[in-house]
Structures are given as structure tokens and as C-alpha cells.
Amino acid sequence: MLSAFLGHASAIAIASPVVSIVGIRRQTYGEMKHVGVVEKQREMPTFPQSFPMNGGDGPHSYIHNSSYQKVAIDGAKEKTSEAILKNLDLDLLNRNSDANILRIADFGCSIGPNTFEVVQNIIDTVKQKNLKENNAYIGAPLEFQVCFNDQPNNDFNTLFRTQPISSKQAYLSVGVPGSFHGRVLPKNSLHIGHITYALHWLSTVPQHVCDKKSPALNKSYIQCNNLVNEVTEAYRVQFKKDMGNFLGARAEELVSGGLMILSGQCLPDGVPKALTWQGVVIDMIGDCLMDMAKQVRNLFP
């Protein structure tokens, strides 16, 4: 799917069973037209069933319960820097004596602190590349603008309230509420896009997995654990659609030569989720929820 979208694009993909990271360089307008993603009608997806991470900074907030995601981010840090050093073309900046702006977006940023760490790593790497390529003295000093994107019901207040002071000195911030399955930024305005641990969120529950009469009914499971082929297929169809919309929107937002960095969890082909430790844990949580639902039904028949 990804390679079909990219057409002639130069891309790097480094994958491990836990985290895969892909750096994609956007092609020219002509090439984009060739693969048919430029003129697509803008769709504005909604969030009928989607909940954000727990807001605030209390004990149950995402801020205090995101160290698992941080491990993956730390693991991908070096590869993210490598992708930028190797693929980002700094000539894409419109350098002049008045302005020299590099715009970064973190899609599905939640409320930190992971997003701040990711963004800082990107900025440090760009600065390093800028110095190395002797670009530092061309035009005005390089300024960074960071667009923090998430669902509109994300706790953006906490995000900006808990932003480290050092980051306020390193870049200017913007909150961008909206679905990353559609356009959230102006065309040709983004130099580096980043997403981690969010692309697996589908825009909707796949068709038929809740339909009691369908062979794709996900029975008593709360996840796609790959035990029922029809269920796996329903999730595959929805993921393909969402991923296509995500890539189409980013293709419009990125400047020609810009970079999109995608990281998240993957499974090697042929390994069912049900046989991974994470799959087992989620199936167990599903069992508990089913038991609780049955008890409530017995109490209020």
C-alpha cells in the first residue's frame, strides 16, 4: 500500500518487530499529480466513536501513563535522526534575509511529554545538519514552528501548560485540532511531519465486526487478534482506507522535498496478534470487560 502511494518517491523504511520507522520524501507537484493524490476532494472526517487520552496531570492522565510509548520513541530516536540527516533537503527552505522558517508537525501528539521529546530531537538534528552543510550563515537565523495536532477533544490546555520552558525558547507552537485522516494544514506548508503510536487508530469501527449476523462478527474480542479471517479482513480494509486518506492529506501539506516520519508498532507477516504478549493482555482485558457486562446484565435483566 505504502509503496503504491509513493510511486517514484525515494523512501527509506527500517522495520523491526516492535517499531518500524519510515522516512518519506515528498515528490514534486508533477509527480504527485502523476500518482493521483493532489487533486483529491477534501474530506473532513469526524470522530463519532473516538476518545482522546486522559487529560490533566493527575495519576490516571496520559502524562503519567505513557512511559510504554516513550520506550518506543527512545528506541526510534537514532533512526529518526538518521532519516532526517539522510533525506531532508534543506534547500527546500525559502531562505532570505527576513525569514527562514522550518515548520514541523506532530500528528496525534496527545498531551506530552513524549511529543516534546520527539520534537526536540527533530529540531536538534535539523540544526546539526544545517551547521554541517554550512547553511547557518545563509539568510536570517533558522526559526522553527511546531504544529501540535490531535483530535479536538484532546486536552490542548494541559499540553501547552506543561510545555518545558526550554522548548518555548527553541520554537513557536501552534495547536492544530482535527483529524489527521484529512487535511489539517495548508497546502505546501509543512517541512517535516511526524507521527508515532497513533496511526493504528482507525477512523471508525470496521464494518460488520459488531454485526451479529455477519461472519466478520468479532465475537467476544475487543481487538483484531487475527483469530478470525473475516475480522482480520474487515480491519485490513478499514486500515487501508484510513492510511490512504492519511498519506493523501500529508502529500498535499508537505512541501516538495519535505519529509514524513512514521513510526509505530508492527507485526511480521504471519504472526497473529493473539500470540503476542500484548495480544494476550488485551484479550484478557476484553474477557474482564465481558464478565463485567454480563454481571450488569444479570443485575438489570
Ligand X SMILES: C[S@@+](CC[C@H](N)C(=O)[O-])C[C@H]1O[C@@H](n2cnc3c(N)ncnc32)[C@H](O)[C@@H]1O
Among 52, 56, 139, 244, binds ligand X (CB under 6 A): 52
Q: Which stretch binds ligand X (CB under 6 A): 10-18, 109-117, 224-232, 270-278?
A: 109-117
Which residue, 46 or 96, has its beta carbon nearer to ligand X? 46
Which residue, 40 or 95, has its beta carbon nearer to ligand X? 40
Binding mask 219-248 for ligand X (x = CB under 6 A): ------------------------------
Which residue, 265 or 276, has its beta carbon nearer to ligand X? 265
Among 54, 66, 121, 163, binds ligand X (CB under 6 A): 66
Q: Rule CB under 6 A: which of 186-205 touch ligand X?
A: 196-198, 201, 203
Among 27, 130, 151, 163, binds ligand X (CB under 6 A): 151
Cis peptide before 301 (omega within 30 of 0): no
How far apart, in Å, are the Cα atoms of 62 and each of 59, 106, 115, 255, 278?
Answer: 9, 16, 12, 32, 19
Rounded-to-integer distance, Cα 161 and Cα 150, Å: 16
Query: Which residue bears the cell 502511494?
Result: 5
Check residue 180 for interaction with ligand X (CB under 6 A): yes
Check residue 115 for interaction with ligand X (CB under 6 A): yes
| Nearest distance in Å: CB 196, ligand X | 4
Q: Which stretch binds ligand X (CB under 6 A): 8-16, 108-116, 156-164, 229-237?
A: 108-116
| Nearest distance in Å: CB 171, ligand X | 17
Asked if residue 43 lies in contact with residue 183, where contact means CB atoms within 8 angstroms, the answer is: no
Check residue 121 for interaction with ligand X (CB under 6 A): no
The neighbour count for residue 30, using CB atoms within 10 Å, is 9
Among 110, 130, 158, 167, binds ligand X (CB under 6 A): 110
How far apart, in Å, are the Cα atoms of 276 and each of 18, 73, 219, 271, 288?
Answer: 11, 20, 20, 8, 19
State which amino acid sits at residue 32.
M
Residues of this chain that bind ligand X (CB under 6 A): 50, 52-53, 66, 69, 73, 108-110, 114-115, 149-151, 154, 179-181, 196-198, 201, 203
